[in-house]
Chain A
Amino acid sequence: EPEVTQTPSHQVTQMGQEVILRCVPISNHLYFYWYRQILGQKVEFLVSFYNNEISEKSEIFDDQFSVERPDGSNFTLKIRSTKLEDSAMYFCASQWGLAGVDEQYFGPGTRLTVT
């Protein structure tokens, strides 16, 4: 069964450094998402992406964040200058359908630790 993959599984970085989290969505999917889960808290939406554009972003997704689909397979989340409060598990998800009723498939996540 196809699955969403994410690398790295764990990233440790110092405050102020840039990080890039990588995702390979399921190949025929059209919609891509990033969510995050701070330890012990609920999963929060960050951004949705379709046709090489951001379609929606949350208040969390400020100017320090950016997303890109540099080629036909990868989908990346960049944090330009990390803060301590960016420490969280980051999940990538992809969705096939156009009707908005298809389920999202989530990757295993990247645990980001900012020190």
Chain B
Amino acid sequence: AQSVAQPEDQVNVAEGNPLTVKCTYSVSGNPYLFWYVQYPNRGLQFLLKYITGDNLVKGSYGFEAEFNKSQTSFHLKKPSALVSDSALYFCAVRDSVGNTGFQKLVFGTGTRLLVSP
């Protein structure tokens, strides 16, 4: 089965500094990878995805992620953090069989990002 791991429970960064939230994956076949963000008392909001193509994927709110096949990683990055980026970030991988439309997502345990002023 597909899986993702987020090794850090929490990441602390000062506003204006670059941030990285780590994710590694384990898949059979081609990985379909996603990042979602969860603000307090809100649902999951899609940030970006990697399906194929360029290893650097750009997403919402200035976030980007770098797909690295050799290291089986898909780290989320932002050049300059904002206090408003403070939230819970989830990495996810598609875990569905074959070339179907169904897309069961398997989520990581989440990383809390805390951006200090």
Contacts and interface: CB of A to CB of B under 8 A. Distances in A.
Interface in B3-61: 32, 34, 36, 41-46, 49, 51
Interface string B89-117: 01010111001111111111110000000
A95 B49 CA distance: 14
Contact of A43 (B44, B45, B46): B44
Interface stretch (A13-21, A64-72, A74-82, A100-108): A100-108
Q: Which of A43, A50, A55 has the most CB of B within 10 A?
A: A43
Interface size for chain B: under 10, 10 to 19, 20 to 34, or 35 or more residues? 20 to 34
A106 B102 contact: no
A44 B103 CA distance: 13
Contacts, number: 78
B46 A103 contact: yes
Contacts of B42: 108-109
Interface size for chain A: under 10, 10 to 19, 20 to 34, or 35 or more residues? 20 to 34
* B interface: dominant SS: loop
Contacts of B95: 45
A105 B109 CA distance: 19
A45 B100 CA distance: 17
A100 B90 contact: no
Nearest to B47: A103
Contacts of B32: 100-101
Contact of A100 (B46, B99, B107, B108): B99
Interface in A38-67: 41-45, 48, 50, 55-56, 58
Given A41-B109, A43-B107, A91-B44, 8 more contacts: A31-B103, A33-B104, A42-B107, A100-B103, A101-B32, A103-B34, A106-B45, A107-B43
7 contacts: A6-B43, A42-B108, A43-B92, A56-B96, A100-B32, A100-B103, A102-B103
Interface of B: 32, 34, 36, 41-46, 49, 51, 90, 92, 94-96, 99-110
The 9 closest A-B pairs by CB, nearest first: A106-B44, A106-B43, A43-B107, A108-B43, A98-B101, A103-B46, A101-B51, A42-B109, A45-B104
